[in-house]
């Protein structure tokens, strides 16, 4: 039993090394940097969305200036040109540590459309966030929908 377990682990370890070599074999420094930067951008998006969501749920007190700033920053993040971040050859399956589906590059216009949707929803949120809590709450769905639609179409499973 102990021997069998030992062999399993060894086979598992070999498999992991093989997969890792396959997945990382052709990653250039430029591709690695782009993947890191787009994850950072998603982190910026997630932070401001989370802050707005927390205000919408009443977990963070509503304050027009804070809510507006969060919405403005979200709009700025959504306005970024994805072409220098989702660069060729950085799809999930080709490289490790990314969930960017290959469909991003076969349907580039569709991918870009989601950024436009998020930008539009964020711009509406800028208006709403400065108005009152009820308006902010009513505008959360547009942002959630934009995020969800893009992730559904273009984000692969957890690595």
Q: Which residues bind a copy of itself (CB under 8 A)?
A: 30, 33-34, 36-37, 40-41, 43-44, 47-48, 50-51, 60, 65-66, 69-70, 72-73, 76-77, 79-81, 83-85
**112 or 144: CB nearest a copy of itself:** 112
**9 or 30: CB nearest a copy of itself:** 30
**47 or 105: CB nearest a copy of itself:** 47
CB contact at 8 A, 119 and 94? no
Instruction: Report helix angle 133-154 to 108-131, nearest 10.
Output: 170
**22 or 63: CB nearest a copy of itself:** 63
Report in angstroms how near the CB of residue 81 gets to a copy of itself at its nearest: 4
Whole-number CA gyration radius for the chain = 20
CB contact at 8 A, 100 and 114? no
Report in angstroms how near the CB of residue 131 gets to a copy of itself at its nearest: 18
CB contact at 8 A, 154 and 101? yes
Report in angstroms how near the CB of residue 41 gets to a copy of itself at its nearest: 5
**3 or 46: CB nearest a copy of itself:** 46
**Alpha carbon distances (Å) from 145 to 8, 31, 42, 70, 114:** 44, 29, 16, 18, 10
Report in angstroms how near the CB of residue 101 gets to a copy of itself at its nearest: 21
End-to-end CA distance of the chain: 30
Query: What is the residue whose two structure tokens read 């804070």?
Result: 66
Report in angstroms how near the CB of residue 11 gets to a copy of itself at its nearest: 38
């Amino acid at each position: 039993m102990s021997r069998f377990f030992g062999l399993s682990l060894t086979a598992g370890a070999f498999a992991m090394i093989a997969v890792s070599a396959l997945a990382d074999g052709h990653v250039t420094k430029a591709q690695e940097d782009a993947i890191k930067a787009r994850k950072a951008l998603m982190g910026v998006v997630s932070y401001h969305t989370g802050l707005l969501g927390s205000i919408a749920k009443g977990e963070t007190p509503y304050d027009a200036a804070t809510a507006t700033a969060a919405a403005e920053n979200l709009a700025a993040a959504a306005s970024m040109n994805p072409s220098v971040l989702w660069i060729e050859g950085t799809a999930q399956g080709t490289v490790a540590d990314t969930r960017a589906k290959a469909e991003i590059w076969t349907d580039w216009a569709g991918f870009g459309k989601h950024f436009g949707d998020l930008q539009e929803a964020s711009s509406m949120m800028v208006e709403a966030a400065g108005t009152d809590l009820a308006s902010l709450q009513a505008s959360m769905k547009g942002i959630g929908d934009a995020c969800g639609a893009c992730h559904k179409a273009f984000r692969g499973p957890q690595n």
